[in-house]
């Protein structure tokens, strides 16, 4: 709450207004209030903490947040209730996230209430980038769930199993282990499909000797994990082993070199430069990593154009990859906690190719 109060002072605003309609802005809502429902309006001032939601969530609000509840009835217009509440609070300026609010709703707000609206999108993203101990522990648990589920999944792999069957079993195990839900649609990409960085699981059958890229994650109490490993039924060929070795070395260079205060571009280059040196630069097309937390992609980022510095206590993925069209792909991804002097690797699965 102190950080949010500081934001009010720094931006010279009276309130923060966060509108979440059918999960349009669930992450910021949860960050500020703790409420996880799909429909709400949060108002945060120095003196008041208010949440507006409908009858689906009146009881849930009491369990998840200490904010004062204003009940929204279906017969009301939401915009009218928001404006009425802002007037009662005597708000003259309000911070909003322009990227999370529809143009129509924003125009209605301005027409209904002539006050100063200040975009605080970047400021809130930067606040969310720095995790406290409670947030870090939730991410640790999300990683643990994902890793244990992956180990169990390896036990059922056999020739002829489909990518979708692997994904379904992995997701099932994560839920049994306590995940709220999966963090994103699970990627299982075998053989030539591994060259598709976001090749979600298909009906393709997995055959002997094919490297299989698995990118998966769990959500635990709102916080995500994001991991990638490679397995193979039988020994992979020498070219697969060579590419895997290059990817591992590139990742280790970034992990060993990262620390807070460096720019995301600097960290990205630690891995990218090595892959380029080995002759595969054109086959590593995406950024090295991204922040995780309440969302699977958030601040900060490791990328060629990311000039902002990486803050202490941010949690970021490190995921170099090489993708050879019509052949195969290799990506390895771990989640790290950035510190003043380096980082802590939060994930613990071996990075070798799992040979089954």
Res 124 pLDDT > 90: yes
Res 1 pLDDT > 90: no
Residue 103 has which token pair?
A: 């143009």
Res 24 pLDDT > 90: no
Give the distance, in angstroms, between the CA of residue 145 and the centroid of all CA atoms in the same chain. 16
Residue 276 DSSP class? H
Mean pLDDT of 154-176: 99
Q: What share of the chain in percent tops pLDDT 90?
A: 95
Mean pLDDT of 129-133: 98
The per-residue pLDDT for range 260-283, each reduced to its tens digit, is: 999 999 999 999 999 999 999 999
pLDDT at 3 (0 to 100): 93
User: What's the CA gap between 69 and 49, in Å, rounded?
Assistant: 9
Residue 265 has which token pair?
A: 């571009």
Residue 99 has which token pair?
A: 């990227």
pLDDT at 25 (0 to 100): 81
Residue 275 has which token pair?
A: 């892959």
Average pLDDT across the chain, whole number: 97
pLDDT at 74 (0 to 100): 81
pLDDT band for position 174 (cuts 50, 70, 90) = very high
- Mind listing the domains of the chain with CATH numbers? 1-129 (3.40.350.10), 133-355 (3.90.230.10)
Return all residues near 180 (Cβ < 8 A) that are at least 6 apart. 218, 219, 220, 221, 222
Res 256 pLDDT > 90: yes
pLDDT at 18 (0 to 100): 97
pLDDT band for position 238 (cuts 50, 70, 90) = very high
Q: What share of the chain in percent tops pLDDT 70?
A: 100
pLDDT at 186 (0 to 100): 99
Listed residue (280, 213, 285) closest to 246, CA to CA: 280
If one counts every other C-beta atom within 10 angstroms of the C-beta of residue 49, the result is 16
Instruction: Give me the half-sphere count of Cα atoms (radius 13 Å) on the Cβ side of residue 69.
Output: 19
User: What's the CA gap between 5 and 35, in Å, rounded?
Assistant: 19
Res 102 pLDDT > 90: no
- Helices 121-129 and 26-33, interaxial angle, to 10°? 60
Residue 116 has which token pair?
A: 């100063």
pLDDT at 75 (0 to 100): 79
pLDDT band for position 126 (cuts 50, 70, 90) = very high
CA distances from 351 to 259, 303, 319 (A): 22, 22, 12
Return all residues near 350 (Cβ < 8 A) that are at least 6 apart. none
């Amino acid at each position: 709450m102190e950080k949010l109060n500081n934001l009010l002072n720094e931006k010279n605003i009276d309130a923060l207004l966060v509108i979440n309609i059918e999960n349009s802005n669930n992450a910021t809502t949860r960050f500020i209030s703790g409420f996880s429902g799909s429909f709400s309006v949060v108002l945060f001032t120095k003196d008041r903490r208010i949440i507006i939601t409908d009858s689906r969530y009146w009881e849930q609000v009491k369990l998840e947040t200490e904010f004062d509840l204003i009940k929204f009835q279906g017969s009301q217009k939401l915009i009218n209730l928001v404006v009425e509440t802002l007037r009662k609070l005597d708000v003259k300026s309000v911070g909003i996230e322009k990227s999370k609010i529809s143009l129509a709703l924003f125009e209605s707000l301005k027409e209904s209430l002539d006050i100063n609206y200040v975009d605080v999108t970047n400021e809130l993203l930067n606040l969310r980038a720095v995790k406290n101990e409670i947030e870090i522990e939730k991410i640790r648990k999300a990683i643990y769930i994902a890793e244990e589920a992956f180990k169990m999944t390896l036990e059922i792999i056999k020739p002829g199993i489909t990518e979708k069957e692997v994904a379904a079993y992995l997701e099932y195990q994560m839920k049994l282990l306590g995940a709220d839900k999966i963090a994103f649609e699970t990627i299982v990409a075998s053989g030539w499909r591994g060259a598709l960085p976001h090749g979600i699981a298909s009906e393709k059958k997995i055959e002997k000797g094919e490297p299989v890229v698995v990118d998966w994650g769990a959500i635990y109490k709102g916080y995500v994990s994001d991991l990638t490993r490679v397995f193979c039924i039988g020994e992979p060929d020498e070219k697969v082993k060579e590419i895997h070795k290059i990817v591992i070395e590139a990742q280790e260079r970034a992990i060993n070199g990262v620390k807070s205060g460096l720019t995301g571009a600097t960290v990205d280059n630690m891995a990218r430069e090595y892959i380029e040196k080995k002759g595969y630069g054109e086959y590593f097309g995406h950024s090295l990593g991204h922040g995780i937390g309440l969302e699977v992609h958030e601040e900060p980022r490791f990328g060629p154009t990311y000039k902002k510095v990486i803050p202490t206590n941010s949690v970021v993925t490190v995921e170099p990859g090489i993708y050879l069209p019509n052949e195969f792909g290799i990506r390895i991804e771990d989640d790290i906690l950035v510190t003043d002097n380096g980082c802590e690797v939060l994930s613990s699965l071996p990075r070798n190719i799992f040979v089954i």
